[in-house]
Amino acid sequence: MALTFLQKLQFAWNRFLLEFIPPPHARKSLTWQDVPAAFAYMLLYGFMAYLVRRRDTQLGRLLLLPSIIYLAIRGVFYYDFSHPDYMFHNWCRGLMGLSLIARSIDFAFARQGVRKAGEKQLPAVHETIPKPSNTQSVTRFLPHWASEAIEVSTTLRWIGWELGKGVSIPPDTRPKERSAFLKATFWRFIKNLLVVDILLECIKSYPGIGSPIGGTLFLPGLPPLQRYTLSTVITIISGTAMIAAFHAIQYFGTLIAVGLLGQSPELWPPLMNNPWASDSISDLWAKRWHQMLRRVFLVYGGIPGGWIAGRPGFILGTFFASGLLHECSIYVLGRGMDHRVTFFFTFQGVCVLLEVLWYKVTGRKVRGWGGRLWTFLIVLTTGQACLDAWFMRGLGGSRYISWWMSPAQMIIFPIVHQLIAALR
């Protein structure tokens, strides 16, 4: 029986998807020889970052965009780190690739380019811009266009840029003088890295989830009270570890950007403002949690949602995009999809809308101890399902910190295990 045109089209589309996003068993193990192909999209993304700082380049950016999207998706989903210890690294590859696609879309459709706050007009491609003198920066060896492209391609919160309008900036208690600022940042980096190291080993000690094979957060052999008490404790430990890890990454980036690239300390304030002190869902996600992917979520969901349904669509679209990005990124692990993650983030948007409704009805904002109890209740209950979805796919047993730079693995936990064995 001859195939119809639609059947042939569907067959061709399925073949294309299998080649474009192959199933886990058909993916290629990422080796050093594959790095140029797997990360080729980053070169085009860097060129896009250069073009977006030059006027009258939108047509070129729009023509460049499909190539970046194709190469990024191909690089993310065609290759993987085959060793189970590198589950987390695969997730990061997915998160980076899909985030750079959103940033490229943002750059491509920026009619006037990306401008710093107060800039009126960008230079043309043929114009030579004198490089500001900065003897403390290693970028003094690069032409101005190259250092500017590096800055645009790596800026996350867009502090000091038009795209950063409305971003929440936590207060900073570090000294303003460069050397004192770097010293304070270094010790904060060490402190947070040590906290992450210890807490990760605590999580890996939890039965089941410490293996790359994956396991559930909810131990089925325990009575409900003990089961959910333990799962809540692990959720709090995991949340604290995430916060410390984000801080450590931020402080490490600060040391490079300020210490080596010569950027101003004012461009590198703290990443978060004590999320555990949040007294509303809005306060948590808009002011206290990190804003590194804020613009990515707006591009993927907030802006389209706003076009469709106004302010409610903007809020729900942003949180839905957050959940979908986290889940699509973890699909790189080859362990399937679990939309409990998507639900968790989308439900946070629903709660934000409920807080808006509460304010309109009562005239009072959600805040104080009642707001804090509400926030803890929402995050610690729905967050457990999200965390379980991650642990079930092996993230709890992934390698995050190498053994040789882990005091917890080399010293602390071996001593603890010996003491426990001696007491038995």
pLDDT for 91-144, tens place per residue? Answer: 999 999 999 999 999 999 999 999 998 888 898 888 777 666 554 555 566 788
Per-domain residue ranges of the chain: 24-154
Interior/surface letters 2-17, b for 16+ CB within 10 angstroms, e for the rest: eeeeeeeeeeeeeeee
- What is residue 135's predicted lDDT score, i.e. its pLDDT? 46
- What is residue 178's predicted lDDT score, i.e. its pLDDT? 92
Q: How far is the C-alpha of 202 from the C-alpha of 225, rounded, in Å?
A: 21
**Token pair for residue 3?**
């195939």
What residues have CB less than 8 Å from 47, skipping those under 6 apart?
Answer: 64, 149
Q: What is the pLDDT along the chain (424 residues), one digit of tens a residue?
A: 567 778 778 887 777 777 778 888 788 888 899 999 999 999 999 999 999 999 999 999 999 999 999 999 999 999 988 777 788 888 999 999 999 999 999 999 999 999 998 888 898 888 777 666 554 555 566 788 888 888 899 889 998 899 988 899 999 999 989 999 999 999 999 999 999 999 998 898 888 888 888 889 999 889 999 999 999 999 999 999 999 999 999 999 999 988 888 888 988 999 999 999 999 999 999 999 999 999 999 999 999 999 999 999 999 999 999 999 999 999 988 888 999 999 999 999 999 999 999 999 999 999 999 999 999 999 999 999 999 999 999 888 888 877 777 787 777 777 777 777 777 6
Q: How far is the C-alpha of 121 from the C-alpha of 149, rounded, in Å?
A: 17
- Vertex 193, ends 278 and 173: CA angle to 5°? 55
Nearest to residue 255, comparing CAs of 190, 186, 209? 186
Residues paired with residue 80 on neighbouring β-strands, in sequence order: 29
